[in-house]
Amino acid sequence: MNTVLLLIILIPILEIYLFIKIGSQIGAFTTISLIFFTAIIGVFYARYEGLNTLRSGVSQLYKNQMPLFELMSGAALAVAALLLILPGFATDLLGFLIIFPFTRKIIFNLFAKNTKSEVHIKDDLIEGEYVDKDNENDKKL
C-alpha cells in the first residue's frame, strides 16, 4: 500500500482516538478550546521563526554562502504551520517539534543520517585567456 494513502487513513484515526481519550478526561469544550489555542499560538510562533530563518538566510547570502539549512528550515516551518492549523493533538505535537530550532536540527540530522548522498562538489578551476574585442574595435575608429 502506498505510504501517503496509509498516512491519510491512519492520521485521522489517531486524531479521533486522541480526541475521544483527551475529551473524556478534560471535557469537550476544553478540548476544542485547546485545539484552537494550540493552532493560534503555533501559527504565530511559526511566523516568528520564519522571519528569523529569513533573516539568517539573507545574512548567509551576504557572506556569499548558500543558505541550505535556512531553505530546509523554511520548508519545514511551512509544513509545521500546516500541521498546527490542522485540528488534532498528534499533528500539533509534530508541528511544535518541527517549529522549535533545537528539535528541528535533531530531526534534520536524523533524516541526513538516513539519506546518504553521493553528491561530491569539486573545486575545478578552468584557466584561460580572453581578448576584449570591443576595445580593439574602439582603437580602429
pLDDT in tens, 86-127: 888 999 999 999 988 889 889 888 887 766 655 444 566 666
Cβ contacts of 131 within 8 Å, gap of 6 or more: none
pTM of the model: 0.69
The residue with cell 531553505 is 71
From the list 29, 7, 3, 25, the residue with the least C-alpha distance to 91 is 7
Instruction: Please report, rounded to a whole number, the percentage of residues in the chain having pLDDT higher than 70.
Output: 82
Confidence of residue 20 (pLDDT cuts 50, 70, 90): very high
Query: Letter for the amino acid at 136?
Result: E
Cα gap 77→59, rounded to integer Å: 19
pLDDT of residue 27: 92
Domains of the chain, by residue range, sit at: 3-116
